[in-house]
Amino acid sequence: MGEIRNPRPVKLFIAVLYEERNILEDILPQLEKRWGEIEWISEEIPFTYTDYYRNIGENLKRVFIVFKPLIDPGELADIKVATNEIEKTTQEGKKERRINLDPGYFDGGKIVLASTKNFSHRVYLCRGIYAEATIKWEKGDFRPFPYTYPDYQSPEYRPSLGKIRELYQKSLHQKDVDNKD
């Protein structure tokens, strides 16, 4: 029988889709207030992988926002519920939403994303939220699963995913140094 242990902390990020940059700028203080200092925001990446988010806009961009504090991976469902609430605050007139916030984390071996949609490869967490191991870190690179979203498989995302990994390693190292003091 295996021993029950608490998981290692993970690096929280939010993958953001938007058309209007000012919508992102407006919610950054809310994100920092809830999840701590923003450590890094990626360059904008044009989002051309699907029409699924057309309700947000035509010329979508993706950025990754990485938070400095490490979190317990068990917080992911609550974070997804909160990001959905923040999305609702951007509604304007008939426009259902103007931004998409997809929280996830890197745990050293994989990127995990939260979703409100069930599917065969997703695991229910709680509060109507599912988790998906979206892409794995293996043999020195990110490697997709058969179901990995096309954008997460793309070469355009590799620098951002690599930076998330780098920041996670740096945070773990700092945590170890702090624990020795």
Pick the residue with more confidence: 173 or 107? 107
Residue 114: which CATH number? 3.30.70
* Boundaries of domain holding 85: 10-180
pLDDT tens, residue by residue, 41-92: 999 999 999 888 989 999 999 999 999 999 999 999 999 999 999 999 998 8
> For the chain, what is the domain count?
1
Confidence at 133, pLDDT banded by 50, 70, 90: very high
pLDDT of res. 39 = 98
Mean pLDDT for the stretch of residues 13-28: 97
What does the pLDDT read at residue 119?
Answer: 96
Q: What is the token pair recorded at 116?
A: 């409100």
pTM above 0.75, yes or no: yes
In a domain, 4, yes or no: no
Q: What is the pLDDT of residue 5?
A: 94
The answer to whether position 5 is within a domain reads no
- Within a domain: 53: yes
Q: What is the percent of the chain with per-residue pLDDT over 70, rounded to a whole number?
A: 99
Q: Is residue 46 part of a domain?
A: yes
Q: Tell me, what's the pLDDT at 96?
A: 76
Quick one: how many helices (H) and strands (E) in the chain? 4, 9
Q: Within a domain: residue 151? A: yes
Give phi and psi for 29, each to the nearest 5: -60, -35
122 in any annotated domain: yes
Quote the CA–CA distance of 59 and 151 in Å, as a whole number. Answer: 15
- Average pLDDT, stretch 128-137? 98
What is the model's pLDDT at position 181?
Answer: 62
Q: What pLDDT does residue 92 have?
A: 82
Question: Would you say residue 120 has pLDDT above 90?
Answer: yes
The reply to whether 3 falls in a domain is no
In angstroms, the CA 109 to CA 50 distance is 27
CA 112 to chain centre: 8
Beta strand 123-126 pairing with 99-106: unpaired
Share of the chain above pLDDT 90, in %: 86
Residue 1 lies in a domain: no
Q: What is the pLDDT of residue 172?
A: 94
Residue-wise pLDDT for 143-176, tens only, equals 999 999 999 999 999 999 999 999 999 999 887 7
